[in-house]
Structure 1
Amino acid sequence: MNDTKSSAEDLAILEQLNLDYNRSDQAGDAKRLGEFLAEDFIVQTPGVTRNREEYLDDIAKPRPFKDQVLHEVKIRILGDVALIHGRVTYTMIADGVEHDALYTDVYQKREGVWVCVSACAIAPGA
């Protein structure tokens, strides 16, 4: 397999994982999210660092927001590591206020499979 074909396939996989990550977040689907989070996954949001188990427990709780929409997604593949940068908008259920958030997710190809090893979000209200 040449690098161009591999890169195109990897890009398609990462695009789908990014969609799945955001859909899982909105829907509280910890099961799907857990399928591609690495065992050593760490997430940081304002004031909080969580490991994989803590994050999945949090995702499984009722979501405090709705209407999450992806914008400006950029995927950079750097060998066996990929960075996904993006912006999302969402509305907080409690007060109806719309917010913007920025995120960067880090994926690593381990034994031929892309897994999310780290995530960082600047997410007001979350």
Structure 2
Amino acid sequence: MNRDLDELTALNRDYVASVQNSDVKRFDEILAPEFYCTNPDKTLVDRAGFLKQTAQPVAIRNLTADDVNIRVMGDFAIIHGATSYTTPDGKQARGRYTDCWARQHGKWLAVSAHVSR
């Protein structure tokens, strides 16, 4: 269980950093083929759509995650977290996210994400 928590903690850090840095390559490594994401604007995108939107530079800065809660249930895990970031006009803002991960062929992959701001 501790190994899973350590691995998912690192994956969560990578996921948040990849959002901030538009790191399509890292997302390509950690997203399952069946990945879907609900965006803050309430749109639903599949893996290809998510990678396409990730390639666009983000307007927010200083994205960090806190209040992270990782729950492992066998080969499935749910990560709840809060984000803080700076908006394009310099204001501080917060959001929340829920990411679902599944162990597939011995590797944790993100299968679903829901982001609110």
1:20-57: CA deviations, max 9, x gaps? 00000000101111101001100002321000111111
Query: Counterparts of 1:1-126 in structure 2 under 5 Å?
Result: 7-45=1-39, 46-93=41-88, 95-123=89-117
State the distance in 2 between where 1:20 and 1:69 align. 11
SS for the counterpart of 2:58 is coil
State the distance in 2 between where 1:47 and 1:73 align. 22
Q: CA RMSD in A?
A: 0.8
* Sequence identity (%): 35
State the distance in 2 between where 1:115 and 1:107 align. 5
State the distance in 1 between where 2:44 and 2:92 align. 24
TM-score, normalising length: structure 2: 0.96
* Structure 1, unaligned runs of 5 or more: 1-6
SS for the counterpart of 2:34 is strand
State the distance in 2 between where 1:47 and 1:97 align. 22
TM-score, normalising length: structure 1: 0.89
State the distance in 2 between where 1:120 and 1:36 align. 16
* Structure 2, unaligned runs of 5 or more: none
- Please say which structure displays the higher CA radius of gyration: 1
Query: What is the aligned residue count?
Result: 116
